[in-house]
Amino acid sequence: MSTLFLIQLLNGLQLGVLLFLLAAGLTLVFGIMDFVNLAHGSLYMLGAFICASLTFLTGSFVLGVLLAIPIVAVIGYFFEVLIVRHLYESSHLDHVLASFGIILIADTLVQLSWGPEGIAIPLPDYLSGQVEILPDIIFPTFRLVIISSGLLIAAGLYWLITYTRLGMLIRAGASNRTMVSALGVDISSLFAGVFALGAALAGIAGMLIAPITEATIGMGNDIIITAFVVIIVGGIGSMKGAFIAAILIGIIDTLGRSFLKDILEMFIESASADTAGPALSSMLIYIIMAVVLALRPQGLFPPKVR
């Protein structure tokens, strides 16, 4: 039991860092530009597909990832310049609808370019094995790679936001957008840059998960809602909040999936637990979000000045 628990904790951590990569871009765009981007998941999908093609082209997964990251960032940049930029002044409602339209377009374009069946990305041998972390705790190498690269990126983002000029502008933007533009900062290139950064992060998340689940059409549409839950729980615009909430939700979701049924069986009869377990574990993250919103509408870690 305790071995299984530790492994599930690691699985939860892996889901958590993945969610963080998605949520980081989402919370930046939301916090700074006040733009609700449902289509953030499409960048995640594009990352996966582009990386798949490049992996087959170059014969190396690592090279595929390194080449795909700037491409996704550029796509994100043009996405901002062509569409998103014209929507900052509109209501959240318009954002939801326009980005919903983008999801439809992106899904269809991917189907037209890569076909409907999705792509399995082959991993090099040194990544596809398992590692014995502790005695009896054997874990797939690649999932460890996801965890460590996710944590590294998180650390990089922390540095970027805390110690660089760009980070300072981002922080300032998240807490008071009008003031930043009044101070003469070139807001439009800042926004485009932030958007491209968010796109790259989402793309990386897609590239990291694709060797596990394959690159498939619509892969972003399920996870994006979870990413929204993460940023709402963490507090919109807060990188720290996004990180903590992502890890928390990743772990809760994974543990819920694996243990909730057994826990319920202690209290109710087994047949009902079989039904209620999966239902409740799917609902878990939404329940958390509703509770957080009801008790603390601004999220757990809202940016300091608003």
Partner 1 sequence: MNKQESIIKLDEHLETPTLFGFGRGRLITIVVMVLLLILPIAAWYMGNKFYLDFSARIVCLAIAAVSLNLILGFGGMVSFGHAAFVGIGAYAVGIPSYHGYESAWLHFPLAIGAAAMFALITGAIGLRTKGVYFIMITMAFAQMAYYFFLSLEEYGGDDGMTLWSRSDFGFLNISDGLTFFLLCYALLVLCVYLVFRIVHSRFGMVLRGCNSNEIRMKALGYNTYAYRLTAYVISGAMCGLAGALIANLQDYITADTMTWTRSGELMFMVILGGAGSVFGPVFGAGVFLLLEEILSAYTIYWHLPFGLLLILSVLFIKGGVNGLIRRGWRL
Partner 2 sequence: MKKQFIIGALASALMSTAAFAENLKVGFITTLTTPAAVIGNDQKNAVDIAMEHLGGKLGGKPAEIVFEDDGFKPEIGKQKTDKLVQDDEISIIAGYIWSNVLMASAKPIFDANKIMISANAGPSAIAGKRCNANFFSTSWQNDQTPMAMGEYLNQNGVKSIYVMAPNYAAGKDMAAGVARTFKGEIKGQDLTTWPGQLDFSAELAKAKASGAEAIFVFYPGKAGGAFIKQYQQAGLKGTMDLYTVFSVDGISLPKMQAGNLDGVLGSRLTQQWDPTLDNEANKKFVADFKAKHGSYPSFYAAQAYDSIKLIDSAVAAVDGDMKNIEGLKAALKEAKFDSVRGNFKFGNNNMPVQNFYLREVVEDADGKWATKVISTVYTDHIDPHAADCKL
Question: Residues interacting with partner 1, by CB under 8 A?
Answer: 30, 34, 36, 83, 86-87, 89-94, 96-98, 100-105, 107-109, 111-112, 221, 225, 228-229, 232, 236, 275-276, 278-279, 282-283, 286-287, 289-290, 293-294, 297-298
Question: Which of partner 1, partner 2, none sits in contact with 40, Cβ below 5 to 8 A by type?
Answer: none
Judged by beta carbon distances under 5 to 8 A according to partner kind, the member of partner 1, partner 2, none in contact with residue 87 is partner 1
Token pair belonging to 234: 């963490």
Residue 213's binding partner among partner 2, partner 1, none (Cβ under 5 to 8 angstroms by kind) is partner 2
| Structural element, H or E, at residue 130 | strand 130-134
Grouping H, G, I as helix, E, B as strand and the rest as coil, residue 137 is strand
Binding mask 171-210 for partner 2 (x = CB under 8 A): --------------------------------------x-
What's the min distance (Å) between Cβ of 276 and partner 2?
13
- CA-CA distances (angstroms) from residue 5 to 2, 10, 48, 257, 283? 5, 9, 30, 12, 21
Nearest residue to 47 (alpha-carbon basis) of 13, 72, 14, 16: 72
Q: Pick the closest to residue 121 from 217, 211, 42, 195 (CA basis).
A: 211
- Please count the other Cβ atoms lying within 10 Å of the Cβ belonging to residue 171: 21
Choice from 155, 282, 283, 291 touching partner 2 (CB under 8 A): 282
Does residue number 229 form part of the binding site for partner 2 (CB under 8 A)? Answer: no
CA distance 101 to 123: 34
Alpha helices in 59-186 (DSSP H): 61-82, 92-114, 125-128, 141-163, 165-175, 177-182
**Residue among 62, 74, 101, 117 that touches partner 2 (CB under 8 A):** 117
Closer by beta carbon to partner 2, 5 or else 159: 5
Looking at beta carbons only, is 54 or 288 nearer to partner 1? Answer: 288
Residue 7 lies near partner 2 (rule: CB under 8 A):
yes
101, 115, 183, 270: which one binds partner 2 (CB under 8 A): 115
DSSP state of 87: G
Verify binding: residue 269, partner 2, rule CB under 8 A.
no
Beta carbons within 10 angstroms of residue 293's beta carbon: 13
Measured in degrees and rounded to the nearest 5, phi and psi for residue 247 equal -65, -45
Among 122, 158, 265, 300, binds partner 2 (CB under 8 A): 122
Going by the DSSP 8-state scheme, the letter that residue 124 receives in this structure is: P
Report whether 208 contacts 18 (CB < 8 A): yes
Select from partner 1, partner 2, none the partner in contact with residue 86, using the beta carbon and a kind-dependent cut-off of 5 to 8 Å: partner 1
Residues that bind partner 2 (CB under 8 A): 3-4, 7-8, 11, 14-15, 56, 111, 115-123, 128-130, 138, 140-143, 209, 211-214, 216-219, 222, 254, 257-258, 278, 282
